[in-house]
Structures are given as C-alpha cells and as structure tokens.
Structure 1
Amino acid sequence: MSEELQDEIEAINSIYGDGCLVPSNDPNVYVLKPPGESSSLRVEFPPTYPAVPPVVLGTNSTGESGRRGDAARELSFFIQALSTVYQPGDVCLFDAIEELTRLLESSAPEERQDQDEDTAPEDATNALLTGKATMHTDVSNIPQPPWTISDPFIELKSVFVARCAPVSSTEEAEAFVQHLLATDKKVRSATHNITAWRIMGPNNTTFQDCDDDGETAAGSRLLHLMQLMDLWNVMVIVTRWYGGHKLGPRRFALINQTARDAFVKAGLVSENTSKKKGPGKS
C-alpha cells in the first residue's frame, strides 16, 4: 500500500466515520460505504495509485433500507464522480465522495438545482446590500472572539480562510458573526461567509445551525462535517473571496478542508489526518 493511499484511508475514515472505507479479502480492493447512502461499493486501488485512477468494480451490498434501483444509481453516479475529479498524481476519494453527494442531491426532483457560486460578483454586491448590513451593528459590548484561523487555501485565484471559536450559546455565536463582519472590512467584503455551529446546552439540549451566505448547500455541508467530527460548543466561519474562475463541486471540498484546518489548529482534531494533499489537504 502506498503512503498516499494509507493517508487517504485514515483521513476518509476520520472525516466520514470508521467503516466508510474498509479493506476486503483482496489487498488492493476496498469497500466504500458513502455517507448517508444505503449501498456500498467495491473500489480497486492499483499499486501505482494515485498515478493511475482507482477502478470501481461494482456494488458490494445494496443495503436493507435502499429502494429498488438506488444501488445502480449510486454506482453510476460514483463512476461519474471519479471521472470528474481524478487528476493523475492526486488522491481523489474525498472529492469523489463530495461530488457523489452533489450528484445525488441534484438528481432528486424535490431538490432545487445547485445555484453556482459563480454568479459571484452580483451575489457579493447583493449580500453587502442585504445580509451583510450587520456591518453597521454596534459591537462595542461584544468581546473580541477567540478565533483560531486556518491557513489560506487558494485555487484558481479563489481564496478560502476559516475561523473557529468556542461558543456556549446561539446568542454568542451570532454575536461573534456580527463582531467579525463589523470589525473586519476584508471579511465583510468577501463573496461568501459560510457559518455553522453546534452547541450542547443544559439538560442535553442541543442547538445547531448553518448559513450558506449565497453559496447554496455549503452551510449544510459544513455542519455535516462538524457532525461527522463530533464537534460541540464550537462555531466556524469559512470566508471565500471569488477569484473569477468557476470551481464547480471542488469548492465544497475546499470549504470543508479549510474548516478542518482551523479545527486542527484549535486542537479539536488530530493533525495526523491533515496532510498536504487529499482529504483535509491543500
């Protein structure tokens, strides 16, 4: 097994939960159970992976809760996802899982079509005129949030930066958002400020919420990442400055990677699953 594949297996199971990617009787074949799906897939990783792409061998199990046709549909979409995201020399499974999720969501008739980030210049102006009116909020009574800031992630001139901070109430989380937008002009003028938080209150009451800020489905994916990582009493804001080039589904992976880097720097997750390339990597 290559070091890249070993790191990827560790990262995938860290992000999506143990059992997402497990070995089979064949040392080159793994069983992948995409998060939230009923079926599982058999995926072969050639010895020279990631120089060559993985091979999808077929469905491993259809699952007990799946509907008729779900397994074939998921198999077809995963093959499509792999062909979309794979680049020679780069591990690709994290991006393929994220792309599979996007394809399954967009294929559901009740789901609205994904509104691309990439009406960005107009969306950014509209956001500044509407949702980001908090720039005028008086935040003098709000203490400086104890942000932990990620490294910047840059792709095709788009820049992503995440901030996370401990919070104990939804009011505190909302106040921290207001403080950031009111005091940081650069953040306030960004294309998107995507937020998510999870809070464990008294008597085991829980509160969790997210905000796309114009980047459709990004907030819920960010919240899902926090759920998979079992993070509580913390919030995260991922800021994106649009670089003029469409990133497609790749943007969701970058948003989650940036958030995860902030969580690592804050000591909320082990750093040994955050490498330079692949899941949780730049």
Structure 2
Amino acid sequence: MMKQVRVLENIFTDRGSKYAVSGGPCTSAIEAKAFIKSLCRRKKFAKATHNTWGLILPDGTPIKADDGEAGAGLVIIRMLEREARVGEIVVVTRWFGGVHLGGDRFRRVQDAVRVYLD
C-alpha cells in the first residue's frame, strides 16, 4: 500500500542550514514535476535554496534533479534503490545557512532520506 504525501519540516540543522524532507506516490516525470510544483506553492519551500529529489519509476528508470546541490539527486536514488522503493518521490529541501558544508552535505541528504524512509 502506497503512503500518502508527507512533509517533514525542520528535521535538523547543520551550521545554520535547515532541512526538510517530503515524499509520496509518484509514477512519472510529469507527476514528479507536479509534486515539486505543489510543494513550492508553500512559500517557505519556494524560497528554499535547494529542492533536490529522486524517484524510481515503475519500469525501474531512475530520475532525479539536483536543483543546484550537485550529486544530491544521485544520493537519493541510491537510497531508494537499496530500499527497493519504486513509484515514490523523495524531496530533500535545504535552506542555506551561510556556511558551506562541503562533503557533509551528502551526509545530511542521506540523513534526511533516512528520516523519511524510517
């Protein structure tokens, strides 16, 4: 049974950057764009620095978007693959806090996806 849309805000902060994670049923690139558009109707999410996402389509095709956070979409895809989560989009949102996180940003993306999957 597929879960409904979930938005988990303010799940953690790291050096001023704030994170949220969202997700829900999604079976096509068109639905993914609609999901992001719907999420960004919330002013807070529209103003986010990054809304990175990943999705494995029912046919097994992975699609993703980094939204300026290079490599973050692939991190999400790899986690979805490990959990065999198909037809479910996961979006990690970051509001930049003024300090570059370097490689830690990938750990924070993983942490956010883990919060969603758990």
| Global fold match (TM > 0.5) | yes
**Which residue of 1 is the match for residue 105 of structure 2?**
251
CA deviations 1:145-190 (Å, max 9, x no partner) are x421335111111111100101233322221111112x11110111
Among residues 160, 163, 169, which one is paired with 2:22 in the alignment? 163
Which of the residues 147, 157, 170 maps onto 2:5? 147
1:257 is aligned with what amino acid?
D
- 1:232 alignment partner, SS class: coil
Q: Which residue of 2 aligns with 1:240?
A: 94
Give the structure-2-normalised TM-score.
Answer: 0.88
**C-alpha RMSD over aligned residues:** 1.4
Check conservation: 2:6, 2:24, Cα contact below 8 A: yes
Q: Percent identity?
A: 29
Alignment equivalent of 1:197, drawn from 51, 55, 64: 55
Counterpart of 2:74? 220
What does 1:52-91 align with in structure 2 at a 5 Å threshold?
none
Q: Which has the higher contact order (CA 8 A, sep 6+)?
A: 2
State the TM-score, normalizing by the size of structure 1.
0.39
Considering fraction of residues, name the structure with more helix: 1
Q: Which has the higher strand share?
A: 2
Measure, in 1, the Cα distance between the counterparts of 2:49 and 2:29.
Answer: 24
The answer for unaligned runs of 5 or more in structure 2 is none
Distance 2:24 2:103 in 1: 27
Q: Which runs of 5+ in 1 are unaligned?
A: 1-145, 265-282
Asked if the contact 1:170–1:207 (Cα under 8 Å) also holds between the matched residues in 2, the reply is no
**Cα distance in 2 between the residues matched to 1:171 and 1:245:** 34
Between the two proteins, the alignment pairs up a number of residues equal to 114
Larger Rg: 1
- 2-structure distance, mates of 1:172, 1:255: 22
> CA separation in 1, counterparts of 2:56 and 2:67?
18
For 1:236 and 1:256, locate their aligned partners in 2 and report how far apart those are by CA, in whole Å.
Answer: 11
